[in-house]
Chain A
Amino acid sequence: MAEMVKKATRESFGEAVTELAAEYPDVVVLDADLAAATKTGIFKKKYPERFFDCGIAECNMIGVAAGLATCGKIPFAASFAMFSAGRAFEQVRNSVGYPKLNVKVVGSHAGISVGEDGATHQCCEDIALMRTIPGMVILNPSDHYEMKAAVRAAIEHKGPCYIRLGRLAVESINNGDDYHFELGKGITLREGSDITIVATGLMVSEAVKAAKALEADGISAEVINIHTIKPLDEDRILASAKKTGRVVTVEEHNIIGGLGEAVAAVLSEKCPTPVTRIGVNDVFGHSGPAVDLLKEFGLSAEHIAAVVREKLGK
């Protein structure tokens, strides 16, 4: 059993890409004046010749990354999710997605847990945007260990990837010896029979806490960690939905276009099952401490448990 680590996934990302750089000499890192925040600064310190600060110009950064990829490099292009996936969306689509170039777009400070910076920086649209690009792999790891595994998987996968990073320090949940990361495969963290909770990113640990609380009430909740939102592990979700007959999704993202809609689409087409989406309810955020905001927007174990009780009429 690995030790429990409380760390923001952005920091785990910065460590992972730096650790893997020796093994993968083609890895290069680009940032847009946010190296201290996205933690690419860790890489910059060790590999200054392989690090390119593109300045506050994200659209050009994505294009430069695409050009580097045509020459065999494996570029990680990082900024806040609002800017790498948001501002530079069309560059990601046309310069990376369409030519299927081996660029890893990194979106840090995703979701409402950016906190005090407020709505302009709280990106709750990145997953929706990236999902619409054909062939884009979307990774949203839930903790330190999963981020480390995901960065390696992104390097080993040849083609466009989007990796979502969080600002807030989170306690690790994937430190067990049996933890195994496989791109495109979800992980069933708890088995249950009454309801399925499908969660991603920061919300996975909240879903596990909710399931533990529900167990005390006699409710058996299955919890699935979806670290890869695209391609989605449809088989795992379908099998669980068939077993429990009801699904709740949890994500730190607009309920429009994210995990919830992806899960609902699969189920409605292949195994119609009632789905309840928990996420940011199509509203902009505002300034405040991250932990308080998560509670306010219903992104907490307590709220997940309350929704499950309500849906099950218990």
Chain B
Amino acid sequence: MNSCDKKQLKITAAKVRLGIIEGVYNAKSGHPGGSLSAADVFTYLYFKEMRIDPANPKWPDRDRFVLSKGHCAPGLYAALAERGYFSTEELKSLRHIGAMLQGHPDMKGTPGVDMSSGSLGQGVSAAVGMALAGKLDNKDYRVYSLLGDGEIEEGQVWEAAMFAAHKKLDNLCLIVDSNGLQIDGPVSEVAGPEPIDQKFAAFGFDVQIVNGHCFDELEAAFAHAKTVTGKPSVIIAKTTKGKGVSFMENQVSWHGTAPNKEQYEVAMQELTAALQELEGC
């Protein structure tokens, strides 16, 4: 990736992070930690990887994205708004009565949301169904689904993984946002989903592990996934929960808590400073 593209992605990711904090602060609830950890993945997918048209969100030949870790909707919404599916002003009404942006993704009312999700483990099965439909119809679209490393404790994820590999769905690319933390504590202490790579390999996936905040590594991984034939892919994105906001980084407590006014201001200052530095250089 040339340095200009990379810089632009970093700028976009900084704006997505600002949108996350804006949304969660105005909602007075929601999930900033996992939204921030996945912000670079959202950015890469919506600004580099996926074949999409924000003016035609139901385009039948588009690539699909299912946010299986649906509670990280603030990250998805911020990326969709930044990409032009709807106004960034919408982010301020997140979770409000009558708002388009529900606490968890609702495909019925939100342009760009390909599947309703939020009950963990379910989105990935829908993504498998979309990939299956693509094969059945001889379409060349690809299907992406983002899961949490806590989410993969759900048995349905492995039902879906087994079936996807059995059906040789090489048009399916899963991403695990491996930030190491879930609500009750570190994943290693709660239920121990590791070794995630070996589990997916054993289920018949092409497995890659990358730094989920490095666009060069994300680019290489998604490019490789497109060359895989006869089996689905998974990219395990090693990330930092709360990435970009100093006091949220690696803190379990920021899984599902909104910042108060003072915290919001500090977070916005930090993210704005990061954005200005990128834009200035």
Contact = CB atoms under 8 A, between A and B. Distances in A.
A73 B136 CA distance: 10
A262 B136 CA distance: 40
A69 B133 CA distance: 9
A99 B129 contact: no
Contacts of A98: 106, 116
Interface stretch (B118-126, B250-258, B261-269): B118-126
Contacts of B60: 71-72
Interface in A59-74: 59-60, 62-73
A70 B114 contact: yes
Interface in B122-165: 122-134, 136-137, 155-156, 159-160, 162-163
Nearest to B70: A94
B115 A99 contact: yes
Nearest to A95: B122
Interface in A80-116: 90-91, 94-95, 98-100
B125 A67 contact: yes
Chain A CB within 10 Å, residue with most, of B130, B162, B166, B167: B130
B116 A65 contact: no
A28 B132 CA distance: 11
A294 to B, nearest CB: 35
Interface in B162-187: 162-163, 166-167
Interface stretch (A49-57, A140-148, A295-303): A49-57
A68 B130 contact: yes
Given A50-B136, A55-B162, A60-B163, A71 B125 contact: no
A68 B133 CA distance: 6
Interface of chain B: mostly helix, strand, loop or mixed: helix
Given A57-B159, A63-B156, A67-B115, A49 B136 contact: yes
Given A71-B133, A71-B134, A60 B128 contact: yes
Contacts of A73: 133, 136
Contact of B125 (A50, A63, A72, A99): A63
Contacts of A52: 132, 167
A99 B130 contact: no
Interface of chain A: mostly helix, strand, loop or mixed: helix
B127 A99 contact: no
Interface residues of A, number: 29
B130 A95 contact: no
B107 interface: yes
Given A54-B163, A99-B107, A67 B156 contact: no
Interface string B71-98: 0000000000000000000000000000
Nearest to A94: B119
B129 A63 contact: yes
A70 B126 CA distance: 9
Nearest to A71: B133
A93 to B, nearest CB: 8
Interface in A13-55: 28, 49-50, 52, 54-55
Contacts of A68: 129-130, 132-133
A50 B137 CA distance: 11
A67 B163 contact: no
Contacts of B125: 59-60, 62-64, 66-67, 91, 95
A94 B122 contact: yes
B29 to A, nearest CB: 20
A259 B129 CA distance: 33
A55 B115 CA distance: 23
A42 to B, nearest CB: 20
B137 A63 contact: no
A108 to B, nearest CB: 20
Nearest to A64: B129
Contacts of B134: 71
Given A94-B118, A99-B116, A72 B133 contact: yes
A262 B12 CA distance: 53
A162 to B, nearest CB: 18
Nearest to B124: A63
A70 B107 contact: yes
A63 B126 CA distance: 5
A28 B122 CA distance: 20
Given A60-B159, A60-B163, A70 B136 contact: no
A90 B130 contact: no
A64 B128 contact: yes
Contacts of B64: 70
Contacts of A66: 115, 125-126, 129
B130 to A, nearest CB: 4
B132 A67 contact: yes
B158 to A, nearest CB: 9
Nearest to B127: A67
B168 to A, nearest CB: 13
A60 B108 contact: no
A59 B156 contact: yes
A81 to B, nearest CB: 20
Interface string B198-242: 000000000000000000000000000000000000000000000
26 contacts: A49-B136, A52-B132, A55-B159, A55-B162, A57-B156, A60-B159, A63-B126, A64-B125, A64-B128, A65-B129, A66-B126, A67-B130, A67-B133, A70-B133, A72-B60, A72-B133, A73-B136, A75-B129, A91-B156, A94-B116, A94-B118, A94-B122, A95-B116, A95-B126, A98-B116, A99-B106
| 7 closest Cβ pairs, A-B complex | A67-B129, A63-B125, A71-B133, A60-B159, A57-B159, A67-B126, A64-B129
